[in-house]
Chain A
Amino acid sequence: MTLFAVYVVNRAGGLIYQYDNNLPRTDVEKTFSYPLELVLKPQDNKIGVVFGQRDGIKVGHVVQAVNGVPVNGTLLEDGQEVLDIVSNEANYPIAIKFGRPKLRTNEKIMLASMFHSLFVIGSQLSPEPQSSGIEVLETDAFKLHCFQTLTGIKFMVLADPKAPAVDAFLKKVHEIYADFALKNPFYSIDMPIRCELFDTNIQACLEQAEKTGITNV
């Protein structure tokens, strides 16, 4: 029954606020012997699994740690290249931790803009007149709820597929936006939201939603 993340998108499609709440971690650590059955390749400044999906380690996962030492990009903390360590037989048996790559801020901005466009296309392709854009996008792992206000601001929430009453939560987020962002004289509309009270209230609302099951509005 968790809400994973909140995104607020402005009228132009730019991300103005993002908060991650309880993202489930999918890390798997395993000990391997030489030769490594997975094929690792550098992808976008990280080392990713390209082939050899097994035991919870899927294609698309990236190396997060080697022998307990966290990996930063393609290098370990002491500057060694991960691919060099992995191809050297002398280092085996080796314990490598894999997990889904964490989204960086730039990627989140891109995804928010992507959804902004998909929202409009959903309305354009409608077989019924006067349709809104995509309000709920369902997959087997999450449901993305989107609420567009009359002014064009979109509030999006990534939630568990079984989470109830997310619409009420989105309306509450809109209320918090109106109270702590719009009424803040130092905040300019359509700009990234950097208001402390907005952050505090969103977090409090998320906590309350988890404890009481979003019946608080």
Chain B
Amino acid sequence: MVVYNFYLFDRVGTCLYYAEWCRRKKAGMANVEEYKLMYGMLFSIKSFITRISPVDLKDGFLCYSTSKYKLHFYETASGLKFVLNTDSGVPGNLRDTLHQIYSQIYVEHIVKNPMCSLGDPISSELFKSKLDEFVRALPVFSAKTS
């Protein structure tokens, strides 16, 4: 059970935060381009599922799996997108975990911080350490690194 990386996007597509714990393959493109590609992919997936779905969707896109990893997605009502890549062995989806990251870490340490401007990438050390601590404490996180 491995957690690979984490992305946080705001409603216009700015990547507010990126963290990795165990990434074995680099993207093959600059970081900025990778964030844009990730955001674009998520935007397209959301549009795709709305149209192809046979019934109306309540929560929308939850996660997707490939042979090697699973991408978990959670979007808040304000358009904030939380993305977590884990290995494919994780059952179900980690929406609740991502919701906890939102409510216990993002809201507490960024939204409530008057010095943090919400549209800008996060530079708060407190957020970084709290997020890192939280993810390392997850049952799905393994200390195994490459």
Q: Do the two chains belong together in a single complex? A: yes
Chain B residues near A84 (CB-CB < 8 A): none
A166 touches B (CB below 8 Å): no
> What CA separation (Å) do A111 and B52 show in the bound complex?
7
> What CA separation (Å) do A163 and B1 show in the bound complex?
25
Contact across chains for B25 and A139 when beta carbons are under 8 A apart? no
> What is the size, in residues, of chain B's interface with A at 8 Å between Cβ atoms?
41
Contacting chain B: which of A30-38, A67-75, A126-134? A126-134
Binary contact track A128-164/B, C-beta < 8 Å → 1, others 0: 1111111111111110100000000000001000000
A26 touches B (CB below 8 Å): yes
Chain B residues near A90 (CB-CB < 8 A): none
Chain B residues near A131 (CB-CB < 8 A): 25, 66-69
B112 touches A (CB below 8 Å): no
> What CA separation (Å) do A134 and B25 show in the bound complex?
17
CB-based nearest B residue for A129? B25
Would you give the shortest CB distance from B52 to chain A, in whole angstroms? 5
Contact across chains for A139 and B68 when beta carbons are under 8 A apart? no
A185 touches B (CB below 8 Å): no
Q: Contact check: which of B51, B54, B64, B87 meets A136 at CB < 8 Å?
A: B64
Would you give the shortest CB distance from B142 to chain A, in whole angstroms? 14
Q: A5-B54, A107-B51 are in contact. Are A125 and B62 (CB under 8 A)?
A: no
Chain B residues near A142 (CB-CB < 8 A): 53-55
> What CA separation (Å) do A155 and B93 show in the bound complex?
24
Would you give the shortest CB distance from B124 to chain A, in whole angstroms? 24
Contact across chains for A140 and B4 when beta carbons are under 8 A apart? no
Would you give the shortest CB distance from A152 to chain B, in whole angstroms? 16
Contact across chains for A138 and B28 when beta carbons are under 8 A apart? no
A92 touches B (CB below 8 Å): no
Binary contact track A193-206/B, C-beta < 8 Å → 1, others 0: 00000000000000
A117-B44, A138-B64, A140-B58 known, 8 other contacts, Cβ within 8 Å: A26-B55, A122-B71, A128-B24, A132-B66, A134-B65, A135-B66, A137-B49, A142-B55
Interface residues of B (CB under 8 A from A): 4-5, 20, 22-25, 27-28, 34, 37-38, 41, 44-45, 48-69, 71, 85, 87, 93
